[in-house]
Amino acid sequence: MEVTQIRTDFPLLSRKVHGKPLVYLDNGATTQKPQIVIDAITDYYTEYNSNIHRGVHHLSQLATEKYEGARKTIQQFIGAQFSHEIIFSPGTTSSINLVASSWGRANVSADDEVLISAMEHHSNIVPWQMLCEEKGAKLKVIPMNDNGELIMEQFESLLSSKTKIVAINHISNTLGTINPIEEIIAMAHDKGSLVLIDGAQSIAHMPIDVVSLNADFYVFSGHKLFGPTGVGILYGKEAILNEMPPYQGGGDMIKSVSFEKTTYNELPHKFEAGTPNIVGGIGLGKAIEYINEIGFDFIIEQESQLKNAATNMLESIEGVKIIGQAKQKASVISFTINGFHPLDVGTILDQLGISIRTGHHCTQPIMDFYNIPGTIRASFAFYNTLEDIEKLRAGILTAKTMLS
């Protein structure tokens, strides 16, 4: 399989920015979309635009079939036992808020504990802070070392019978660290705790089997997986989801409504109030079909090559410091350049057509840990090339010259 051929599947990769060929290295923020996904979105709006579940007419039935077919595709993609364990949401953030609000309010009480890590995205910090403030519970943080790896001995000591849930990312969006979630899940379960895995940064880079992992919840966003924005997934074990109260009220999440009493629908509809992002779900299903065609063997090999080449390149440039040196690491590299603010470097790189991310990446506690204002982040996907890395190197050298 040739990367040059794969790149032709992504229309945006062929455009120019500021008159320069685009070098897109911001995949940790969002990925580009293959033509098959774009066509699926257009096809929905031009051929069978209709609401789902409620209509007996042909267009509604067709839209329902496509939408529920996407749910089954997602179920198979992550190895879930049942399709009704797949809950559509607006994204990772919404999925975490659903669990914190629904499961958390029903199960977390005063003096209970919620355990997160020092490398979490704000979306896996703030909802738990809000829950703990409301319930009088305690939020505890698994520390990390200077390499950006969790200190597992301290994790073990933080776990107790008071720990109701451990919420942790699979891969750090800032450091690229791949956390040992199999071990974390097993240790947490030994203490009777549930585990939520934030898979926003892992879902596009490695195969996921939620049954083998024994994860209680696994969440991710479609737009990180070459699918549309505004759609995501909450996977939850059937028994846990059944016990959780609804998160929102409205259409489709009910069986019957009277002014005296409402009875709620079965899974997955209990957690999908109102008209969903129909085209988003269908587009996400198509994105997964595309990923299945590419195959994770190719994706892992290609991204590993890119990560290693970019790491060697950055280490060869005077003044560059890579933030996060975990032994197990994905194709995400954050770095600083001594004497230069990340925003200034990012601005110059943009003028050269190079799209990277600068700032705190919604992980301000990580920046505080390293005592830095932010980083420059290059995040790679399987459609990136070694030529992209060479252009990044040249861009960094140009930025250094211009800012000196």
Q: Annotate 202-241 with three-state secondary structure.
A: CCCCCCCCHHHHCCCEEEEEHHHHCCCCCCEEEEECHHHH
Residue 31 lies in a domain: no
Phi/psi for 220 (5° steps) reads: -160, 170
pLDDT of residue 257: 72
The total of other beta-carbon atoms located within 10 Å of residue 246's CB is 18
Residue 392 lies in a domain: yes
Q: How confident is the model at residue 212 (pLDDT cuts 50, 70, 90)?
A: very high
Q: Are residues 96 and 219 in the same domain?
A: yes
Q: What is the DSSP letter of 328?
A: S
Residue 174 carries which side chain, given as an amino acid letter?
T
Higher pLDDT, 1 or 10: 10
Q: What is the pLDDT of residues 57-67, one digit of tens each?
A: 999 999 999 99
CA geometry: angle at 355 spanning 350 and 357, to 5°? 100
Residue 257 carries which side chain, given as an amino acid letter?
V
Residue 32 lies in a domain: no
Q: Is the pLDDT of residue 334 over 80?
A: yes
The total of other beta-carbon atoms located within 10 Å of residue 267's CB is 19
Residue 195 lies in a domain: yes
Which of 294, 362, 372, 403 does the annotation list as catalytic? 362
Q: Are residues 247 and 362 in the same domain?
A: no
Q: What is the DSSP letter of 255?
A: E
In whole angstroms, how far apart are CA 30 and each of 273, 355, 392?
A: 26, 11, 19
CATH number of the CATH domain containing 152: 3.40.640.10
- Residue 352: give the domain boundaries: 3-25+296-403
pLDDT of residue 385: 98
Q: Is the pLDDT of residue 256 over 90?
A: no
79 close to 210: Cβ distance less than 8 angstroms: yes
Q: Is the pLDDT of residue 394 over 80?
A: yes
Q: How confident is the model at residue 55 (pLDDT cuts 50, 70, 90)?
A: confident
- Which residues contact residue 371 at a Cβ distance below 8 angstroms, ignoring those fewer than 6 apart? none
What's the total number of domains in the chain?
Answer: 2
Dig out the tokens for 78 from the structure: 């992550």
CA distance 159 to 361: 28
Is residue 362 part of the annotated active site? The answer reads yes
pTM: 0.96
Q: What is the pLDDT of residues 150-169, one digit of tens each?
A: 999 999 999 999 999 999 99
* Poorest-pLDDT segment among 28-32, 50-54, 390-394, 397-401: 50-54
pLDDT of residue 397: 97
pLDDT of residue 67: 97
pLDDT of residue 251: 75
278 close to 222: Cβ distance less than 8 angstroms: no
Residue 109 lies in a domain: yes
Q: Are residues 101 and 158 in the same domain?
A: yes
Q: Are residues 327 and 358 in the same domain?
A: yes
Residue 121 lies in a domain: yes
Q: How confident is the model at residue 277 (pLDDT cuts 50, 70, 90)?
A: very high
- Which residues contact residue 247 at a Cβ distance below 8 angstroms, ignoring those fewer than 6 apart? 98, 101, 102, 271, 273
* Poorest-pLDDT segment among 10-19, 47-56, 234-243, 367-376: 47-56
pLDDT of residue 357: 96
119 close to 175: Cβ distance less than 8 angstroms: yes
In whole angstroms, how far apart are CA 8 and each of 28, 260, 306?
A: 21, 58, 19
The candidate with the shortest Cα–Cα distance to 196, out of 218, 177, 213, is: 218
- The β-bridge partners of 234 are 87, 219
Residue 72 lies in a domain: yes
Q: How confident is the model at residue 83 (pLDDT cuts 50, 70, 90)?
A: very high
Q: What percent of the chain has pLDDT over 70?
A: 100
Over the chain, what is the mean pLDDT? 96
Q: Is the pLDDT of residue 126 over 90?
A: yes
384 close to 301: Cβ distance less than 8 angstroms: no
Q: Are residues 269 and 146 in the same domain?
A: yes
pLDDT of residue 56: 87
pLDDT of residue 264: 75
CA distance from start to end of the chain? 42
CATH number of the CATH domain containing 321: 3.90.1150.10
Say which residue the tokens 């990925």 belong to.
31
Q: Are residues 169 and 269 in the same domain?
A: yes
Q: Are residues 265 and 307 in the same domain?
A: no
Q: Which of 266, 292, 318 is where one domain is finished?
A: 292
Q: Reduce the DSSP state of residue 332 to 3 states and report it.
A: strand
Q: How confident is the model at residue 258 (pLDDT cuts 50, 70, 90)?
A: confident
- The β-bridge partners of 142 are 117
Q: Are residues 279 and 385 in the same domain?
A: no
